[in-house]
């Protein structure tokens, strides 16, 4: 069967492409933009990506068109699909019908930490010999790909609350029908489709409604918003987790020099050795261990798997070092994610300055959904904060970020931003570049500029 994917370079749709290719289908796709790691993954898989959205991309007609949620009415390729009467389906529906049916689905939902937790859970199951399939919104270093079919009965999926497609406004995750569901946390995001936090809570409860009575919810005990979702009704087992060691209702972690001590109901189960830094990553790890336990992975086996986990591309990923200056790439694009990522980098080493570099690129960021005090506060632990004041921002960056004070470096021009970072950086600094896009290749250009500065 020939599948043509509209919006193929998105993290989710690139995973769909990988799964379809592995299943033996012919896969092509169209997209307006693409950047690593998904563009390189598609290239490595030999999947042709056609630039833009042109009707001729669909000639001769594929057997089915898989439509990403980036595609809207008025898109030239989509209008051709509709006028020509070509069969089309959303990515989540195609996945549910062709990959997830009949499997034990473990879904990881939440505003933050989905990619890390999903990757880690898949790795723990893999190391326990369960041969899981998975689809992650990033590329786990251990696997080298964002998705695979797997030969076991388990399938691990990053469960996004964003809408499915222009013709299906439900959240993606309602298609997945998990038996095990992690609820990592819940905050306001996606201002382009959700009017308020209550609207997102309703979608999370729709997910809960799909979990069977013999299924299990793994719930963050420290999140202040999730209890309201649970109060709407729960029909499944509920297990709790936290990353602080303070909650004795379920699974928790107490930090130590090498990682953390894993506890269940307050009783120590073993020592976790992990390079993942920060309280949020300890919580992610504990959630993954709890979910793995639901499909029979013992805590001891999970801790062994955790020790060999190598992280995810674009999640506090060290891209290069020049004269003692480290340049990191991270996907952080929400105030909470920004704050915990800076904290994790600080936890790795208390010495050396942190130069935080932020591109407010997501729809919510550009529309001003995070332009209140939370965004400025999220940068408080950075020694300097370089912010790219893009021309398409719908809010006054200088005013919103004024609380950052003298540590703020606001630049409306990309070249000036790049030059300012390179000029400021000195040996021992850690430059943390944060964006949910490719930031115009800032990371590579910065490493090059630093190499010129320190030949």
- Is the pLDDT reported for residue 340 higher than 90? no
Rounded to an integer, what is the distance from CA 448 to the centroid of its chain?
28
Neighbours of 373 (CB within 10 A): 12
In the chain, the largest separation of any two C-alpha atoms, in whole Å, equals 63
- pLDDT of 314 reads 79
Q: Are residue 155 and residue 292 in the same domain, yes or no?
A: yes
Nearest to 338 by CA among 352, 321, 358, 323: 358
| Residue at a domain's end among 28, 59, 91 | 91
Q: Are residue 74 and residue 108 in the same domain, yes or no?
A: no
The backbone torsions φ and ψ at residue 254, rounded to the nearest 5 degrees and listed phi first, read: -115, 120
Angle in degrees, CA 226, 156, 253, rounded to 5: 55
Distances (CA, A) of 86 to 90, 210, 410: 13, 31, 48
Looking at the structure of the chain, the number of domains it has is 3
**Residue 419's domain is classified under what CATH number?**
3.90.190.20
Q: Are residue 114 and residue 210 in the same domain, yes or no?
A: yes
- Is the pLDDT reported for residue 275 higher than 80? no
| Residue at a domain's end among 307, 327, 342 | 307
- pLDDT of 248 reads 67
- Is the pLDDT reported for residue 420 higher than 90? yes
Query: Using 50, 70 and 90 to split pLDDT, how confident is the model at 249?
Result: confident
Q: For strands 133-135 and 147-148, give the pairing.
A: antiparallel
- pLDDT of 30 reads 95
Q: Indicate the average pLDDT of the chain.
A: 92
Q: What is the CA radius of gyration of the chain?
A: 22
- Measured N-to-C along each axis, helices 442-453 and 414-424 cross at an angle, to the nearest 10 degrees, of 40
pLDDT tens, 51-82? 999 999 999 999 999 999 999 999 999 999 99
User: Is 373 inside any structural domain?
Assistant: yes
Q: Answer yes or no: are the C-beta atoms of 276 and 309 closer than 8 Å.
A: yes
Q: Are residue 300 and residue 355 in the same domain, yes or no?
A: no
Neighbours of 405 (CB within 10 A): 10
Neighbours of 195 (CB within 10 A): 9
Q: For strands 259-264 and 251-255, give the pairing.
A: antiparallel
Q: What is the pTM of this model?
A: 0.84
Q: Are residue 144 and residue 208 in the same domain, yes or no?
A: yes
User: Is 312 inside any structural domain?
Assistant: no
Provide the phi-psi class of 189: left if phi over 0, else alpha when psi is between -120 and 50, else beta: beta
- Measured N-to-C along each axis, helices 299-307 and 279-294 cross at an angle, to the nearest 10 degrees, of 130
User: Is 97 inside any structural domain?
Assistant: no
pLDDT tens, 213-234? 999 999 999 999 999 999 999 9
Q: Are residue 275 and residue 381 in the same domain, yes or no?
A: no
| Residue at a domain's end among 62, 91, 120 | 91
Residues contacting residue 441 through CB under 8 Å, at least 6 positions apart: none
More confident residue, 433 or 38: 433
User: Is 96 inside any structural domain?
Assistant: no
Which H/E stretch holds residue 340?
helix 335-348
Q: What is the DSSP string of 174-231?
A: GGS--SEEEE-------TTT-SSHHHHHHHHHHHHHHS-TTSEEEEETT-SSHHHHHH
Beta bridge partners of residue 275, listed in sequence order: none
- Structural domain span for residue 175: 102-307
pLDDT tens, 405-417? 999 999 999 999 9
Q: Are residue 224 and residue 337 in the same domain, yes or no?
A: no
Q: Are residue 288 and residue 337 in the same domain, yes or no?
A: no
User: Is 146 inside any structural domain?
Assistant: yes
Q: Are residue 234 and residue 332 in the same domain, yes or no?
A: no
Residue 9: CA count within 13 A, CB half-sphere:
19
Q: Answer yes or no: are the C-beta atoms of 340 and 280 closer than 8 Å.
A: yes
Q: Are residue 211 and residue 237 in the same domain, yes or no?
A: yes
User: Is 136 inside any structural domain?
Assistant: yes
- pLDDT of 191 reads 75
User: Is 228 inside any structural domain?
Assistant: yes
CA distance 108 to 288: 9
Q: What is the mean pLDDT of residues 100-110?
A: 97
CA distance 135 to 243: 25
Q: Are residue 161 and residue 262 in the same domain, yes or no?
A: yes
CA distance 75 to 166: 11
**Residue 59's domain is classified under what CATH number?**
3.40.50.720
User: Is 187 inside any structural domain?
Assistant: yes
pLDDT tens, 134-170? 999 988 989 999 999 999 999 999 999 999 999 999 9
**Burial class, 224, CB count within 10 angstroms (exposed 0-12 / middle 13-18 / buried 19+):** exposed
CA distance 143 to 37: 13
Q: Are residue 238 and residue 120 in the same domain, yes or no?
A: yes
CA distance 25 to 95: 13
pLDDT tens, 312-330? 877 888 899 999 999 999 8
Cα-Cα end-to-end distance for the chain: 53
CA distance 422 to 411: 14
**Residue 298's domain is classified under what CATH number?**
3.40.1190.10
């Amino acid at each position: 069967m020939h599948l043509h994917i509209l919006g193929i370079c998105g993290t989710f749709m690139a995973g769909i492409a990988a799964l379809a290719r592995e299943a033996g289908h012919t896969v092509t796709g169209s997209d307006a933009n693409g950047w690593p790691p998904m563009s390189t993954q598609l290239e490595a898989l030999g999947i042709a990506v056609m630039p833009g959205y042109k009707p001729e991309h669909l000639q001769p007609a594929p057997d089915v068109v898989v439509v990403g949620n980036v595609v809207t009415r008025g898109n030239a390729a989509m209008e051709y699909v509709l006028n020509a009467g070509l069969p089309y389906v959303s990515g989540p529906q195609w996945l549910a019908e062709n990959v997830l049916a009949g499997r034990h689905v473990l879904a990881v939902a939440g505003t933050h930490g989905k990619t890390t937790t999903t990757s880690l859970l898949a790795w723990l199951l893999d190391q326990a010999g369960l041969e899981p399939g998975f689809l992650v919104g990033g590329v786990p270093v251990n696997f080298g790909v964002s998705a695979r079919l797997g030969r076991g009965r388990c399938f691990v999926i990053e469960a996004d609350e964003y809408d499915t497609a222009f013709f299906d406004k439900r959240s993606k995750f309602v298609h997945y029908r998990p038996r095990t569901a992690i609820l990592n946390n819940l905050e306001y995001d996606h201002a382009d489709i959700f009017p308020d936090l209550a609207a997102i809570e309703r979608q999370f409860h729709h997910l809960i409604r799909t979990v069977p009575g013999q299924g299990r919810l793994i719930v963050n005990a420290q999140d202040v918003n999730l209890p309201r979702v649970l109060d709407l009704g729960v029909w499944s087992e509920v297990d709790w987790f936290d990353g602080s060691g303070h909650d004795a209702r379920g699974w928790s972690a107490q930090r130590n020099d090498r990682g953390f001590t894993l506890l269940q109901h307050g009783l120590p189960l073993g020592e976790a050795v992990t390079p993942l830094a920060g309280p949020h990553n300890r919580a992610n790890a504990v959630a993954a261990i709890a979910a793995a336990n639901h499909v029979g992975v013992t805590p001891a086996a999970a801790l062994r798997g955790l020790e060999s986990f190598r992280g995810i591309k674009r999640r506090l990923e060290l891209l290069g070092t020049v004269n003692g200056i480290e340049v990191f790439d991270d996907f952080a694009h929400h105030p909470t994610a920004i704050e915990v990522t800076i904290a994790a980098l600080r936890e790795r080493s208390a010495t050396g300055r942190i130069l935080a570099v932020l591109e407010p690129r997501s729809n919510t960021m550009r529309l001003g959904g995070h332009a209140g005090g939370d965004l400025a506060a999220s940068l408080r632990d950075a020694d300097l904060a370089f912010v790219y004041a893009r021309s398409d921002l719908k809010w006054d960056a200088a005013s919103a970020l004024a609380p950052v004070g003298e540590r703020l470096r606001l630049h409306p021009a990309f070249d000036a931003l790049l030059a300012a970072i390179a000029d400021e950086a000195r040996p021992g600094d850690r430059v943390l570049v944060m964006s949910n896009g490719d930031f115009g290749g800032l990371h590579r250009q910065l490493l090059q500029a630093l190499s010129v500065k320190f030949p």
